[in-house]
């Protein structure tokens, strides 16, 4: 069981590293196309550190006390985690070069209103929330489930508010295109 837990955690770590590669590539593309400034780089660094720490603590708890769920609940949790990955990558592919782990300041920011963004303002964050809850649940790690979910909620609240302000300042269309759309989580 421990080997399977390590494999699962490793998959998610590799997925996060792939996200960083995509983000770095997109930053290079955007820098060539337009004037770009990272808003609050300290916040982005804090988010990366938090996610890295979360994975370390998840591994530690899984190693020391964890137990992989069994039976019907196992399949439900796996289904939710797979759907979260599909949502995450559909958000990343939909935004294309505009997807990043950083928040940018740019003139006339293009607003994407297709794919999962037809329904939600922040589908990638919904995927992260699901992952922070269901991955520890799958691995039998209640401490990191509670502490990680609370920490993630605080970070995402700040992050989403920062993104909303930036998008409203950088585009005349943002408020119009997303009026009535679910933000999904705790803005303001």
Considering only CA atoms, which of 51, 47, 57 is closest in space to residue 16?
51
CA dihedral over 131, 187, 45, 148, signed as positive or negative: negative
For the chain, list the domains and their CATH numbers.
Answer: 2-177 (1.20.120.1630)
CA 177, CA 164: separation in Å to the nearest integer?
13
What's the pTM value of the predicted model, to 2 decimals? 0.89
Length of the chain: 188
* Residue-wise pLDDT tens digits, 87-120: 999 999 999 999 999 988 887 677 888 999 988 8
* Residue-wise pLDDT tens digits, 141-184: 999 999 999 999 999 999 988 888 888 787 777 766 666 666 65
């Amino acid at each position: 069981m421990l080997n399977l837990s390590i494999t699962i955690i490793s998959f998610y770590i590799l997925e996060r590293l792939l996200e960083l590669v995509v983000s770095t590539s997109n930053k290079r593309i955007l820098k060539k196309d337009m004037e770009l400034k990272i808003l609050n780089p300290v916040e982005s660094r804090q988010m990366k550190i938090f996610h890295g720490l979360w994975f370390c603590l998840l591994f530690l708890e899984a190693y020391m006390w964890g137990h992989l769920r069994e039976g019907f609940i196992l399949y439900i949790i796996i289904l939710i985690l797979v759907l979260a990955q599909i949502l995450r990558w559909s958000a990343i592919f939909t935004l294309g070069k505009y997807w990043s782990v950083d928040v940018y300041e740019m003139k006339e920011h293009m607003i994407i209103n297709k794919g999962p963004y037809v329904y939600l303002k922040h589908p990638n964050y919904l995927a992260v929330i699901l992952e922070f809850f269901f991955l520890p649940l799958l691995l039998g790690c209640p401490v990191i489930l509670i502490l990680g979910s609370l920490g993630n909620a605080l970070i995402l609240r700040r992050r989403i508010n920062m993104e909303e302000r930036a998008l409203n300042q950088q585009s005349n269309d943002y408020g119009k295109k997303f009026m009535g759309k679910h933000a999904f989580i705790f803005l303001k």
